[in-house]
Chains A and B, each alone.
Chain A
Amino acid sequence: METILGLDLPTWWFLLLGALITGYGILDGFDLGAGALHLFFRKEESRRIVLNAIGPVWDGNVVWLVISAGVLFSAFPMVYGTLLSAFYLPFMLLLFGIIFRAISIEFRSKEPMRWWRRLWDFNYFASSTSIALILGLILGNMVQGIPLDSNHRFIGTLRGFLNPYAILIAITTLSLFMLHGAMYLAMKTENRLYAKLTILINWTSKLFILCFIASAVATLIYVPHMAAIFRDRPYWFVVPMAALLIVLNIRYSIEKRRYLLGFISSAVTTSLMLVLVALGLYPNLVFSNIDPNNHISIYDAASTTKSLSIMLGFAFVGVPLAAAYTIFSFYTFRGKVKLDDGSSYL
């Protein structure tokens, strides 16, 4: 098989897909987290400010989900079909969450009535929270493995999807996003709202560290193939160690009130957690918890070399461009949010 820098094409796409999903987690993570915290802001003005803080960028963040899904479809079509149809209802709920969230952000400011704003505030909170939870549930199931028969067909149930381990991962994901979102908002706000966010950061960080430890322990006990990485290749212990250090650094940067550093730290934490998942999975993409022979490996699922090479060309040109738009947008809207005629959500 053709290799580039010693890695074959399916591996490159595995890495690229991982990078895209990580990018999505970091970017949409903070605006989903901000949504999950939305109801903690009591005053109308505060709610406007936090919405305008994510306003110019959230749509651009969702792009990375669309790109990730497109890449999964084109690079690993078998996984795309199997995974999305296996988790049919969860993915449908995810889609409804995305719809409700988009319209809540868009519609809230369009009417001044109290009940109208309360309604969309609640929808925004509920959809943001459920998107984070569903993403976490999917991740939890991916880490654990799902029931696949010898034809790589899914034979599980919805109840299996909602297992305790996956729920723990879902809560961990939510708490990480909330922390990440609070850090972002702290960078964008001033005065009393900022003071409120420092309190929120304090407790979301504690919640996350608690969840992080619980997930780590649960993973080592209940997910043997994750534990096996460290048994076979002990040097990978660097990754969880780094994660732990960075989590502690989050606490440090909170105490020093350096929220940009904290924001970067929670972003790196997101990346490292997904690196761990990738290490546990590779060279498989979907684990069968029935029989190791039923795993779907990247080689089973990959598109042809020709297709993967064409796509690599696309990615080489397109991903830096898309990243440049994102950076340009963040640069344009840098600094604290002020409510003026430039803010769209009033």
Chain B
Amino acid sequence: MDDVTLLSRLQFAFTIAFHYIYPPLTIGLGVCLVFMEGMYLRTKNKVYEDLTRFWIKIFALIFGIGVATGIVMEFEFGTNWATYSRYVGDVFGSALAAEGIFAFALESGFLGILLFGWNRVSPRVHFMATVLVALGSIFSAIWIVVANSWMQTPAGFRIEGHEMQARAVITDFWAMIFNPSSVERLSHVLVGAFSSGAFLVLSVSALYILRGQHIDHARKGFKIGLWVATFAALLSLFTGHSAANVVGKYQPIKMAAMEGHWDSLAPADAYVFGWVDKQNEVTHGLKVPGGLSFLLHFDPRANVPGLKQYPVNDRPGAVNFVFQSYHIMVTLGFAMIGLTLLALWLLYRGRLYEQRWLMWIFVFSVLMPQVANQVGWYSAEVGRQPWVVYGLLRTSDALSEAVRADQVLTSLILFTLVYFVLFLLFIYLLNKKIQHGIDVGDVTDHSGPLSTKNPDVFSTAR
């Protein structure tokens, strides 16, 4: 790998991984906000209004960083991957443009009303804005994951021209949209995003419960978070299974890398955990005999092709990395199912909030979906290598000819510095909002021209 390839890949990987902290949080929080504000409209209970206001402020903080780091992604296709842009623009570009027109416009257009509109619009219109922002963030995920799925399992296109002039052109729009992996991958990504937001709500609520602060608010928030999280955790199992099946069917090399599966065998084993020795082409670890065959074919004796069956230059380089990230995701997925079901059972028995040890686990549980979402994507994208568009365009052929290594190095260093500072500030401000707590009975008068509240929010008492 030459320098420009390596640096451009590093830069894209770093900027997308950083970006991907935020959108899943906004998607998941959006769903929770719809429930919170919906409950407020239904019950007229002020507690739900306070909760909604509190979480909208956190939503805005996360959304802002998500937008800023997301614009970077769109431009990077052109700046760093010019050949890729020319090659796929006819197909991939339309999905990306559609994201801007149909999703991002919706989110950003109504975010202002969410934040600034409390005194400007009626509660119903405000709720409508919340629903539209939440929908917008989901639409965004739809277009982006469809575009990415096309890179995994391209469909609905043909190749026109040769060599430098070659490009993919669209032949069937719906076949492109519903390419073999779109639905499975999208549903898995969405439930992962729901978990991400729901566990943030759970974490903060658990902290308040432990401190005996805002007990009523915290319990109501916890309940909403718990329902969304349980639902998402259980669905992750099914969507994850079908997504893995699609990988097994359409990207067998990636599947083999995820399981460290070297020899084409019947039956093929699945690992609970392990270590891939790429040098000697073996995998060590605890395995379930016939597990992989069973997962992919519901038949413990079915044959699954192994990595050795494919030429080395068509295999992902970092097999162990793909293996580990995939296995961490799966393990965390099961842990989230266990945790949410346990909490739900205790809630049913009326003993949930007294379990301090469990509340402490929930405080830190916010990291589980974060890590699972990250490593899940690592395995999907690194597992696709050496292709940028699977089977069509190699990553090393997709670069910008006009860009030199020193330019990419400069921008990569800047991104590292800026994102590092950005992350520290984000954590600091998020923590500050959490420590400040929920403003109880924030505003009581919706009609008055000026509220009696001190305009400086920082001097208001909790």
Contact = CB atoms under 8 A, between A and B. Distances in A.
B153 interface: no
A85 interface: yes
A102 interface: yes
A344 B101 CA distance: 26
Given A77-B93, A88-B403, A70 B100 contact: yes
Contacts of B277: none
A153 B402 contact: yes
Interface residues of A, number: 76
Given A89-B411, A332-B113, A311 B71 contact: no
Nearest to A344: B115
Interface string B81-106: 11111111111111011111110111
Given A99-B69, A322-B109, A344-B116, A84 B75 contact: yes
Interface residues of B, number: 82
A333 interface: yes
Contacts of A333: 112, 116-117, 120
A106 interface: yes
Contact of B108 (A60, A89, A303, A328): A60
A290 interface: no
A89 B456 contact: no
A338 interface: yes
Of A55, A62, A342, most B-chain CB atoms within 10 Å: A342
Given A63-B104, A103-B64, A332-B121, A310 B456 contact: no
Of A55, A76, A92, A154, most B-chain CB atoms within 10 Å: A92
B169 A307 contact: yes
Interface in B39-86: 60-61, 64-65, 67-69, 71-72, 74-75, 77-86
A85 B89 contact: no
A171 to B, nearest CB: 24
Nearest to A318: B101
Interface of B: 60-61, 64-65, 67-69, 71-72, 74-75, 77-94, 96-102, 104-106, 108-113, 115-121, 160, 164, 167, 169-171, 173, 400-403, 407, 410-411, 414, 418, 422, 425, 429, 432, 442-443, 449-451, 453, 455-458
Given A56-B117, A85-B79, 20 more contacts: A55-B112, A59-B111, A69-B75, A73-B78, A78-B89, A80-B85, A81-B81, A84-B75, A85-B78, A86-B402, A88-B402, A109-B457, A303-B93, A306-B169, A307-B170, A321-B105, A326-B105, A332-B121, A333-B117, A340-B451
Closest 10 CB pairs of A and B: A77-B89, A74-B93, A84-B78, A325-B109, A56-B112, A81-B82, A85-B400, A70-B97, A318-B101, A322-B105
